[in-house]
Amino acid sequence: MPSSPALSAKALDRLCSQLREKAAQLGFDDLAITRPGAIPQAPQRLAQFLADGHHGTMGWMEETADRRGSPSVLWPQVRSVIMLAMNYGPAGDALENLAHPDRGNISVYARHRDYHDVTKGKLKELASFLVSRAGGGDVKVFVDTAPVMEKPLAQAAGLGWQGKHTNLVSRRLGSWFFLASIFTTLDLSAAEPERDHCGSCRACLSACPTGAFPQPYRLDARRCISYLTIEHAGPIPAEFREPMGNRIYGCDDCLAACPWNKFAVEAREAKLKARADLEAPSLDALLKLDDPAFRQLFSGSPVKRIGRDRFIRNCLIAAGNSGDTSHLSQIVTLLGDDAVIVRGAAVWALSRLLAPEAFMVLAQERLAFEADAEVRGEWLACLQRQASQN
Ligand code: B12
Ligand code: SF4
């Protein structure tokens, strides 16, 4: 391992301001430094989150819990943690598209290039700059790529505080920003943590369409639309389908509700400005995507990660919520899709758009061919729901 030079207080100050300047030049919107031991409460809180099952099927959180809870377990040599923020603020009202049921709503963080790709190169450049200016030391860069608890670390470094919605809020940037980190063996000057400025405000908690906050500062991911549309592999549990509205990838309601966003500004990084075709894409066109067309449309976007089948599942829920019967013929086509989650979601969408008699006739016809138990179960549950509503 390269040796870590001991720097005088004056040299350290100079190094930190050079680092800040370089970070700003590279497009980062804030930088702050903390110590690896600055989040002593994190392991216990993470353990509680996992014990409560709030991570749902994100088994990787459990598998990496020891390293995630403590930077020093992840990398014993680490002496300082540099936390960075990159603003992805939207140009206009983040929630405007929710009022257009003929459109799919992709959350703001995914309307442009994947932030992992955008930040990784810049982080590496900043880390090399640090080592060259310090005259030594070792570094590791992370942007949600290793088990690091980025939010509590960022709060400890003073970048902002974890709001009641659990995300980081900054007095200067609001809450539309990504986090990334550089771990280093260098002893840099650490800052004071930011304190909580939420006060008695509960706007984010009240805004959540699915009641995903059992308490302020605690999220049950299993109820969060972001988790359901991105991380969750099976059918969307029935109780969340209507509240999803036209949210087909992620959710921004709790972030958008935060009054601190009055200080937010539009992203300055060109690659984090919304792609025009992803701001309010036509649901009709999305429902027709096959695998190659899906990959092409979402090339370079975080949406690509969930794959075409999960994405079409989400679009079918939005179609079922749209009240728009012009989708019917495409949804009927999707009843013959190879993917079980697509067929199941198509059944639900039809149960919402067709009159009960027409749905019953279609069910009788299709159940004769449907071999999958899960999809058959969806038909029967929808028939039962319709019968109980009449
Ligand atoms: C897993 C994950 C998710 C999961 C779970 C979210 C969660 N809150 O845990 C899901 C898929 C739901 C998700 C959704 C989103 N995510 Co996410 N996610 C992560 C990830 C990978 C890990 C987060 C984690 O460690 N969770 C475990 C829990 C235990 O940690 P925690 O949330 O910090 O929990 C704290 C509180 O519970 C608190 N606490 C507990 N009890 C108490 C009591 C009191 C009194 C207090 C004060 C606090 C407190 O202490 C805990 C530890 O600090 C991070 C990246 C990373 N490596 O950190 C991105 C990250 C948090 N996500 C991010 C984003 C942008 C989102 C979305 C906005 C995306 C979207 N638009 O759909 C949503 C927001 C939903 C929400 N309200 O959180 C950004 C947030 C940036 C920011 N400004 O904070 C991150 C940091 C990614 C990044 N590199 O930028 N995400
Ligand atoms: S992202 Fe949406 S569903 Fe998830 S906690 Fe926030 S408001 Fe609720």
Residue in this structure with the two tokens 């009449």, named with its chain if needed: 390
pLDDT tens readout for residues 20-55: 999 999 999 999 999 999 999 999 999 999 999 999
162 C-alpha to center of ligand 1: Å? Answer: 9
DSSP 165-221: TSSEEBTTTBT-EEEEEEEESS-PPP-PPPPP--TT--HHHHH-TT---SBTTB--G
List the residue whose alpha carbon is closest to atom 68 of ligand 1: 252
Which residue's CA is minimally distant from atom 1 of ligand 2? 251
Check if the beta carbon of residue 188 is closer than 8 Å to that of residue 127.
no
Which residue numbers are catalytic? 144
- Range with lowest mean pLDDT among 42-46, 132-136, 212-216, 324-328: 132-136
**pLDDT higher than threshold 90 for residue 5:** no
Which atom, in ligand 2's list, is nearest to the CA of 255? 6
Q: How far apart are CA 176 and CA 160, in angstroms?
A: 12
Q: Which long-range contacts (CB under 8 A, 24 or more apart) does 328-334 make?
A: 328/353, 328/354, 330/284, 330/287, 330/288, 331/287, 332/362, 334/287
Name the percent of the chain lying above pLDDT 90. Answer: 93
Task: Choose one of 225, 240, 247 to mutate for the ligand 2 pocket test, by most ligand atoms within 8 angstroms of C-beta.
Answer: 225
Q: How far apart are CA 70 and CA 22, in angstroms?
A: 28
Using most ligand atoms within 8 A of CB, pick from 105, 210, 240 the residue to mutate for ligand 2: 210
Is 227 a pocket residue for ligand 1 (Cβ < 6 Å)?
yes
Distance, in Å, from the CA atom of 17 to the CA atom of 129, rounded to the nearest integer, reads: 12
Taking all residues of the chain, what is their mean pLDDT, rounded to a whole number?
96
Pocket of ligand 2 (CB under 6 A): 165, 207-210, 212, 219, 224-226, 251, 253-254
Distance CA 118, CA 269 (A): 9
Ligand 1 lined by 42 (C-beta under 6 Å): yes
Residue 125, strand partner residues: none
> How many other C-beta atoms can be found within 10 angstroms of the C-beta atom of residue 304?
17
- CB within 8 A of 48, min separation 6: which ones? none
pTM for the complete prediction?
A: 0.97
Distances (CA, A) of 208 to 144, 229, 244, 351, 354: 24, 15, 10, 26, 29
Each residue of 262-290: pLDDT tens digit? Answer: 989 999 999 999 999 999 999 999 999 99
C-alpha 183 to ligand 1 mean position (Å): 20
**Nearest ligand 2 atom to alpha carbon 250:** 1
Query: Does residue 60 sit in helix, strand or coil?
Result: helix
Q: Choose one of 44, 45, 178, 183 to mutate for the ligand 1 pocket test, by most ligand atoms within 8 angstroms of C-beta.
A: 45
Residue 338 per-residue DSSP state: S
* 231 in contact with ligand 1, CB cutoff 6 A: yes
CA of 151 to the centre of ligand 1 (A): 7
Partnered with residue 179 across adjacent β-strands are 85
pLDDT tens figures, 87-140 = 999 999 999 999 999 999 999 999 999 999 999 999 999 999 999 999 999 999
Confidence grade of residue 11 (pLDDT, cut at 50, 70, 90): confident
Percent of residues, the chain, with pLDDT higher than 70: 99
Question: Is the torsion defined by CA of 177, 307, 53, 377 positive or negative?
Answer: positive
Give me Rg for the CA atoms of the chain: 23
